[in-house]
Structure 1
């Protein structure tokens, strides 16, 4: 377990990585190696890459993110990133985003209409 100071530093680091991931502009087009490497550089903070995310099962992705100390809000933001990234041709991470949203909804023991609407939108 991390002490409060380290936990705050880790949370700030995770928040910064998520902000960068969410700030990347996604256009529905075929991405090249350089575009993907921008995302891979940020995903390294979680021990991930675009390729490894494609190959991971939903439960394994959630387990990995929990080991990286993401809290409920950060998990939800990572799900938002996956949905946003899914507009890019050849990548569809909406199933993984739905699994993350459902995990947060169930395990946080807090009902959220926001998460329910995100799940519905990701299923379309």
Structure 2
């Protein structure tokens, strides 16, 4: 069921706040292993284990189902790109954003090229 505009804005703000906290943890050594990261991922309906097991298409379905907007999808991909184990998932999300948003972004294009090397 689609969210109303007000609820969508609230949900995007909640997702954005969780992603901000997760991004802060990516700069902490072993931040991915911290309990804080797991609890934050749980708020997004994810865990490191589920991320490892998810296929690229399952991840795309998940972020769509969780009502991530394009900016929050990109932030999630940015966070995933920091961890070498999730590099391919980040690439997949960037590509998904680039094609499905129907707006070409040089920033995302550069991120895809940087990760592809």
Same fold (TM over 0.5): yes
Matches within 5 A, 1:1-124: 1-24=2-25, 25-27=27-29, 31=30, 35-86=33-84, 92-124=85-117
Query: Runs of 5+ in structure 2 lacking a partner?
Result: none
Instruction: Give a deviation string over 1:70-114, Cα, whole Å, max 9, x none.
Output: 01111011000001133xxxxx11100000000000001111111
Q: For structure 1, list consecutive stretches of 5 or more residues without a partner in the other structure.
A: 87-91
The DSSP-based 3-state class of the residue aligned with 2:61 is: helix
TM-score normalised by the chain length of structure 2: 0.91
Query: Counting helix residues as a fraction of each chain, which structure ranks higher?
Result: 2
How many pairs were matched up? 115
CA RMSD of aligned residues (A): 1.7
Q: In 2, Cα distance between the equivalents of 1:112 and 1:3?
A: 27
In the TM superposition, residue 26 of structure 1 has moved relative to its aligned partner by: 4.2
Give the structure-1-normalised TM-score.
0.86
> Greater relative contact order: 1 or 2 (C-alpha under 8 angstroms, separation 6 or more)?
1
The answer for the alignment partner of 1:89 in structure 2 is none
CA distance in 2, matches of 1:106, 1:5: 26
1:37, CA displacement in angstroms? 2.0
Question: 8 Å contact 1:94–1:123 — kept in the other structure?
Answer: no
